[in-house]
Amino acid sequence: MTRWLDGLEERARHHVPAHILEYVLQGAGASVSTAEAPHAWAGVRLVPRVLRDVTHIDLTTRLLDTTYQVPWGVAPTTLQRSVHPDGEVAMARACAEAGSLLVVSSNAGTRFEEIGATGVDWWLQAYLPSDRRLAEPLLERAVEAGARAVVLTVDTPVVGTKITESGRSIFELVPSEHLRVNFDADYADQPGAEKATDLGPADLAHLGELTGLPVVVKGVLRGADARMCVDAGAAAVWVSNHGGRQLDRVVSTATALPRVREAVGESVQVYVDGGVRSGLDVLAALALGADAVLLGRQPLLALAEGDGGVRRWHAELRTELSEAMRLAGAVTPGDTHGLATP
Ligand SMILES: Cc1cc2nc3c(=O)[nH]c(=O)nc-3n(C[C@H](O)[C@H](O)[C@H](O)COP(=O)(O)O)c2cc1C
C-alpha cells in the first residue's frame, strides 16, 4: 500500500518552481530543527485503552467559541499564490468544505475579503511593527472581513536567515502581487514598519482591545512564557518553533508541548504545530495535551494540486486519524489526552 501524503513533495515538483519549493521546505540555518520535527512526533509512544466502543469516531473540536469538524487546521503560510494561481482562495474553499480552521498569514497574497467570502472560519496571523499604529489598517481589514481571532506571532523579532541554492532572497524573486496585499501600498517605506524587537505582555491586551477579538500567541515554547501570555490576557497559546524557520537548533514542539500544557493547566487551550505529517502525528500531539494541531508545509504542498489537493489532504488525515483513534481506544479528540507515555 502507498500513501498519497508521501507523494506530495514529489508531485509538487511538477507544478511549483524550484525556488518556491525550496523556500517552502527549508528551515533556518542548517535546518536541524526542521529535519528533527517529524522524528520527534514519531518518538511519542501511545498506551491504548481497550474494551471501549469505538464504532463512531467524533472528530468535532471546539476552538475558542467555534466548533470545527476536525481537530487540525492550516497554519499561516505565505506564497500560496506562487504555489498555485488560486492561492489562498483555493485553500480557504477546501477548508470551508472540510469544516477546518484556516489561519491566514498577514503577508498573504489574497485580499482578506476574498478569503472571507469563501465562508471559511478563519483567524488572522499578525506580526507587530516597531510603530504599533502602523498595524492598525491591516487589523481593521481583517476584522471587517470576518476574522474570528488574531494570532500574534512572537518568535520573529528578526527573520531567521535561510540559505538558498541561488544565493538570492525569495522576496527578490516573487511577484509583488503574491505578497502582503492587505497592507497599505507604502507600508514598508514608513519609519517604524520593521518588525518589533520589543514585544511584551502589554501588546496582547492592546491587540485584543484594538480588534475586539480573542488573541492567540504563536511561538511559545516555555511553560513560564505560556503562563505569562495567559496572565496578560491571551485566549490560547500556540506551541510553535515556526517550522524550524527562525532559531535553528530550537527544541522540537513535541518536547515543548507537555511542559506548556502543564504550566497553563486544563482550562486554557493549547495548540501546536511543526513537523506533523500524519494522522498518527496528530494523535500524538492530542495525546500530549494539544486541543488542536496546525500544519504548514503539508497543506501548502497539497495546494500545488489546487483546492482538490487540499480536499484530498483533509480526507487522508481524517482517515488516518480515525483509524489511529479507534486503535487507541479514543472516540473524541478529548479522549486522547493522556494516552501518551510521559
Ligand atoms: C512557506 C512558509 C511560510 C510561512 N509563513 C508564516 C507566516 O507568514 N506567519 C507565521 O506566523 N508563520 C509562518 N510560517 C510558519 C507556519 O505557520 C508553521 O508554524 C510551520 O510551518 C509549522 O511547521 P510545518 O510546516 O512542519 O507544519 C510559514 C511556514 C512556511 C513553510
Q: Does residue 125's CB lie within 6 angstroms of at least one atom of ligand 1?
A: yes
Domain chopping of the chain, boundaries: 4-336
Q: Is the CB of 297 under 6 A from ligand 1?
A: yes
Q: Residue 306: CB within 6 Å of ligand 1?
A: no
Beta strands in 186-333 (DSSP E): 215-220, 236-239, 269-273, 292-295
> Is the pLDDT reported for residue 263 higher than 90?
yes
Confidence of residue 165 (pLDDT cuts 50, 70, 90): confident
Which superfamily does CATH assign the domain made up of 4-336 to?
Aldolase class I (3.20.20.70)
At 223 the three-state DSSP class reads: helix
Coil, helix or strand at residue 225? helix
Per DSSP, the residues of 98-126 read: HT-EEEE-TT-SS-HHHHHTTT--EEEEE
Burial class (CB in 10 A: 0-12, 13-18, 19+), 3: exposed
Report the candidate in 271, 264, 252 with the shortest Cα–Cα distance to residue 72.
Answer: 271
| Per-residue confidence (pLDDT) for residue 116, from 0 to 100 | 98
304 lines ligand 1 (CB under 6 A): no
Closest residue (by CA) to atom 2 of ligand 1?
77
SS3 20: helix
Please say if 14 is a catalytic residue. Answer: no
Cα of 245 from ligand 1 centre, angstroms? 8
Residue 64 pLDDT class (50, 70, 90 cuts) = very high
3-state SS, residue 152? strand
From the list 332, 338, 337, the residue with the least C-alpha distance to 71 is 332
Band of the pLDDT at 160, cuts 50, 70, 90? Answer: very high
Q: What angle do CA 74, 80, 84 make, to 5 degrees?
A: 120
- Averaged pLDDT score across all residues of the chain: 97
The answer to whether the CB of 243 is under 6 A from ligand 1 is yes
- What's the mean pLDDT in 168-197? 94
Total-model pTM: 0.98
Confidence of residue 171 (pLDDT cuts 50, 70, 90): confident
pLDDT at 229 over 90: yes
Mean pLDDT of 109-138: 98
Q: Which of 84, 178, 242, 314 is catalytic?
A: 242
Residue tagged 540555518 (cell numbers):
29
> Residue 33 belongs to what H/E stretch?
helix 32-42
| 342 has pLDDT over 80 | no
- The confidence band for 49, taking pLDDT boundaries of 50, 70 and 90, is very high
Determine the 3-state secondary structure of 203 from DSSP: helix
Residue 142 DSSP one-character state: H
Nearest to 216 by CA among 65, 43, 3, 12: 65
Of 74-83, 162-171, 209-218, the poorest mean pLDDT is in 162-171
Q: Considering only CA atoms, which residue is closest to atom 1 of ligand 1?
A: 24
Say if residue 282's pLDDT is above 80.
yes
- Tell me how far the alpha carbon of residue 78 lies from the centroid of ligand 1, in angstroms: 8
* Structure confidence by residue, pLDDT tens digits, 304-332: 999 999 999 999 999 999 999 999 999 99
CB 57 within 8 A of CB 269: no
